[in-house]
């Protein structure tokens, strides 16, 4: 299943509910475009809800990193919410778990933004 | 009981679709020889990453080149080869993705994941050229002793 995403604005934050696969090709490109569109709209406090992402490969991990740094460069913040066990484990072994701000509670993720 | 060696060879075009296809074939083979779903996922992702490397870096997305995927079903382990037709590379030249300066790089984690998920990983440059990624996974102890499962692939 290709990547699908739905945005929900909660105050100044945008929660993006993502489902499908973030892999080399369309999945990674879709995530890149999605983040770009949000930044272009001035939405710089982004929470990626990954609860329904069944699969991610190294390209998908790379795209998460790219999204994180792109948002940060534009003065925003990108947080991750509801990692599946597989994604959690991948971020652990790649040492990225400490790089990303990861939440299991949407309210806490939304209220965590600094401004 | 000793199981006769079996060999499955697949030739893939240098296409993005070959990445999913290689993983799908791998999942079927892994299931047939007795790996559980979690181990199958790890083996499947390892092959996926090796084929991504072959597609992207080895064959440079050149459709005129091919990717060769081979499964050797040995008595105690499955050995998987992924060979491309590129210039080849040495494993020791691949940067460590866990190094502080590489942590935020957007690529370079594929071989690391293979090493994490498989029992052994090696990269050779065969006489025919290209890079050959060779990865090994030992069978679970409860592996069916008959090769009949593999014939269902």
Residue B87 lies in a domain: yes
A49-67: average pLDDT:
96
pLDDT, greater one: B152 or B69: B69
Number of folded domains in chain B?
1
B133 touches chain A (CB under 8 A): no
pLDDT for res B35: 96
On whether the pTM is more than 0.80, the answer is yes
pLDDT at B152 over 50: no
Contact A54, A20 (CB under 8 A): yes
Task: Indicate yes or no: CB of A94 within 8 angstroms of CB of B45.
Answer: no
Q: Please tell me the distance in Å from B152's CA to the nearest CA on chain A.
A: 26
Pairing mode, strands B6-13 and A101-103 = unpaired
Q: Which residues of A touch B (CB under 8 A)?
A: 23-25, 57-59, 61-63, 65-66, 68-69, 86, 90, 93-96, 99
Q: Please tell me the distance in Å from B69's CA to the nearest CA on chain A.
A: 19
In chain A, which residue ranges form alpha helices assigned H by DSSP? 26-40, 58-73, 85-93, 106-111
Q: Which residues of chain B are within 8 Å of residue A99 when distances are taken between CB atoms?
A: 103-104
Substitution target from B61, B103, B109 for chain A, most A beta carbons within 10 A? B109
Instruction: Read off the pLDDT band of A111 (50, 70, 90).
Output: very high
The domain made up of A4-105 is a member of CATH 3.30.750.24 = yes
B83-93: average pLDDT:
95
pLDDT at B144 over 60: no
For residue A82 the two structure tokens come to 């509801």
Pairing mode, strands A77-81 and A45-56 = parallel
pLDDT for res A27: 86
Question: H/E element holding A22?
Answer: strand A13-22
Cβ-based contacts under 8 A for chains A and B? 45
Q: How many of the other CB atoms lie within 10 Å of CB of A108?
A: 11
Instruction: Read off the pLDDT band of B142 (50, 70, 90).
Output: low
Contact A110, A101 (CB under 8 A): no
pLDDT for res B8: 97
For residue A40 the two structure tokens come to 């272009």
Contacts of B9 by beta carbon, 8 Å cutoff, 6+ apart: B68, B69, B70, B71
Q: What CA dihedral angle connects B7, B13, B19 and B21, to 10 degrees? A: -60
As a whole number of angstroms, the distance between CA B47 and CA A44 comes to 36
Residue B1 lies in a domain: no
B110 touches chain A (CB under 8 A): yes
B142 touches chain A (CB under 8 A): no
pLDDT at B153 over 90: no
Domain boundaries, chain A: 4-105
Residue of A nearest to B108 (CA): A58
Instruction: Read off the pLDDT band of B77 (50, 70, 90).
Output: very high
For residue B70 the two structure tokens come to 């081979």
Write out pLDDT tens, residues B29-68: 999 999 999 999 999 999 999 999 999 999 999 999 999 9
Q: Which residues of chain A are within 8 Å of residue B103 when distances are taken between CB atoms?
A: 95-96, 99
Domain that holds residue B61: 6-152
Q: What percent of chain B has pLDDT over 70?
A: 89
DSSP A17: E
Domain with B74 in it: what CATH number?
A: 3.30.565.10
Task: Indicate yes or no: CB of B49 within 8 angstroms of CB of A58.
Answer: yes
Say how far residue A1 (Cα) sits from the centre of its chain: 18
Contact B67, B12 (CB under 8 A): yes
ipTM of model over 0.85: yes
Task: Provide DSSP, B41-105.
Answer: HHHHHHHHHHHHHIIIIISTT-TTSEEEEEEEE-SSEEEEEEE-SS----GGGS--TTSGGGTT-
pLDDT, greater one: B110 or B128: B110
Q: Please tell me the distance in Å from A109's CA to the nearest CA on chain B.
A: 22
């Amino acid at each position: 299943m290709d990547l699908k995403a739905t945005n929900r604005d909660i105050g100044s934050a945008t929660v993006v509910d993502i489902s499908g696969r973030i892999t080399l090709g369309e999945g990674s490109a879709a995530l890149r475009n999605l983040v770009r569109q949000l930044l272009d709209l001035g939405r710089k406090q982004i929470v990626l809800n990954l609860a329904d992402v069944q699969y991610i490969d190294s390209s998908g991990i790379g795209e998460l990193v790219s999204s994180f740094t792109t948002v940060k460069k534009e003065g925003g913040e990108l947080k991750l919410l509801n990692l599946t066990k597989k994604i959690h484990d991948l971020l652990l072994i790649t040492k990225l778990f400490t790089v990303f701000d990861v939440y299991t509670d949407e309210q806490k993720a939304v209220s965590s933004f600094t401004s | 009981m000793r199981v006769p060696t079996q060999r499955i060879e697949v030739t893939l075009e240098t296409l993005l679709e070959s990445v999913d296809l290689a993983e799908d074939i791998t999942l079927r083979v892994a299931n047939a020889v007795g790996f559980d779903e979690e181990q199958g996922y790890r083996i499947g992702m390892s092959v996926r990453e090796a084929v991504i490397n072959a597609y992207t870096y080895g064959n440079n997305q050149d459709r005129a080149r091919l990717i060769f995927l081979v499964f050797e079903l040995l008595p105690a382990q499955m050995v998987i080869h992924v060979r491309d037709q590129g210039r080849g590379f040495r494993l020791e030249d691949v940067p460590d993705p866990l190094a502080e300066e590489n942590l935020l790089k957007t690529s370079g984690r594929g071989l690391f994941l293979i090493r994490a998920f498989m029992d052994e990983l090696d990269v050779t440059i065969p006489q025919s050229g290209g890079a050959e990624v060779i990865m090994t996974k030992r069978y679970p102890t409860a592996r069916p002793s008959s090769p009949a499962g593999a014939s269902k692939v």
